Structure formats: structure tokens, C-alpha cells
Structure 1
């Protein structure tokens, strides 16, 4: 299967391509992790696939190994940040507050996280 074409209007595709700066904290062959510009906790990192899929469900359908890599990267980020625990969150669809339609995993920690969230 061919990888999808980057979306020229997608901010995350532009970060992957190096066209927009980001504070990269980890990278693999399949993913890039960088600090969120509007953090919701002391540690708030976004882990994105290098390939463009609209959301986590589409990524799972087309590149399940890349989806697994996002979680492996999330663990590596949490360990590097010294987090005792962390939350890994996908917002899928506008109704779930997804605002950038490029699959991305939020890694959130560094403070007490309440349940249920928002």
C-alpha cells in the first residue's frame, strides 16, 4: 500500500516536513513527537504519524503498525520526561474536539489527572 500524500494545508504535515518549527522531543521512522503550543498540563506532547491520516481510526485502518508506534513513542516520551503516570488521548472527530485533522496522540502528565476528563 502506498503512503498517503501529505496535505499541503495541514500544519502537522508541515511540521513533519520541517516547514514549521516545533520543539521535537522524540522521533522515529514513523512518528514525530513535539511539545503542544497550548499545553493543558506541565507535560503535553503531541505524537503524530509522519503519514497523513485524518484521525486515529483512519490510521488504524491503513497503518496499524504506525498506530502502535505512536504508543511506543508516547511511552518513550513519558520515560524521558520522568512521568510517574500519563494520559494518552486521541480526539477523533470535531464532536470530540479534534481541531487538527491529522491523527495525533496527546501525551499529558506532570500533574494529578482527574477522571473523568473534561
Structure 2
């Protein structure tokens, strides 16, 4: 989708600090980090939110989780723990209408989140 911020990041039209990429996902550091490690993991297929995921799209969700595991290990936060978050819709805190998974870690994360 040409007017989507994250689609434009995937294509390289908008620069990002890439930390991981495979055939299904692209991951980069968040420009407004909420933890020492804050990575966004996005599917290369444009899906507006988790509500648009259909039966044929679960390979993207699987790839997002696998990417989170790899990145957490590479960033050294897997042993101490980390948080994965899908924000959905305005009240859920989603600000970009492209499905994305937040990987947060590197410090103790309070609960509830806010």
C-alpha cells in the first residue's frame, strides 16, 4: 500500500534502523523507544491490524513470533524477559494502520502498562 508508512519503510523509501529481515517480516528500532530495547516487527504483507488476519495470513504471525525470539536472543534480553505487544485500534494504542508487534525489553516492565 503506497501511502502506508510501514510499507514505505519495508521498501526502503523511508529509512529505518533495520535489525532483522526475512521473506515474511521486517524489523527495525522504534523511533520513540519505551524501553532500552524497543523493536517493531512488521509483516511484509499489508494488514491493517490483527483484526484483518485471515487463515492464509498466519504464516506472517508465525514469522513475527520467530523473529521476536531471534531478536530477543541477539539483543541479550531473552534470559531476563521481554514483552510482546500488538496494539489494535485507537483505544488499543495503535497509531500506524499496519499490523506491528512491539518487542520491548532491557529493563523491568511495569504492569499494568498504562
Query: What's the TM-score, normalizing by structure 1?
Result: 0.91
Q: Which runs of 5+ in 2 are unaligned?
A: none
Deviations 1:3-28 (A, max 9, x none): xxxx1111100011110100000111
TM-score w.r.t. length of structure 2: 0.94
Q: Post-superposition shift, 1:56?
A: 1.7
SS in structure 2 of the partner of residue 9 of structure 1: coil
Structure 1 residue 111 corresponds to structure 2 residue 107: yes
User: Which deviates further from its counterpart, 50-59 or 10-19?
Assistant: 50-59
Deviates more, 1:27-36 or 1:50-59: 50-59
SS of the residue corresponding to residue 94 of structure 1 reads coil
The CA RMSD over aligned residues, in Å, is 1.0
Q: Contact 1:46/1:106 (CA < 8 Å) preserved in 2?
A: yes
Task: Please list, as runs of the form range in 1=range in 2, the aligned pairs for 1:23-102 lying within 5 A after superposition.
Answer: 23-83=17-77, 84-102=80-98
Q: How many residues align?
A: 112
What secondary structure sits across from 1:95 in the alignment?
coil
The Cα offsets for residues 24-66 of structure 1, whole Å up to 9 and x where unpaired, read as: 0011110001000000000000000001000123135440111
Q: Which runs of 5+ in 1 are unaligned?
A: 1-6
| Partner in structure 2 of residue 3 of structure 1 | none
Deviation, structure 1 residue 97? 1.1
- Partner-residue secondary structure (3-state), 1:66: helix
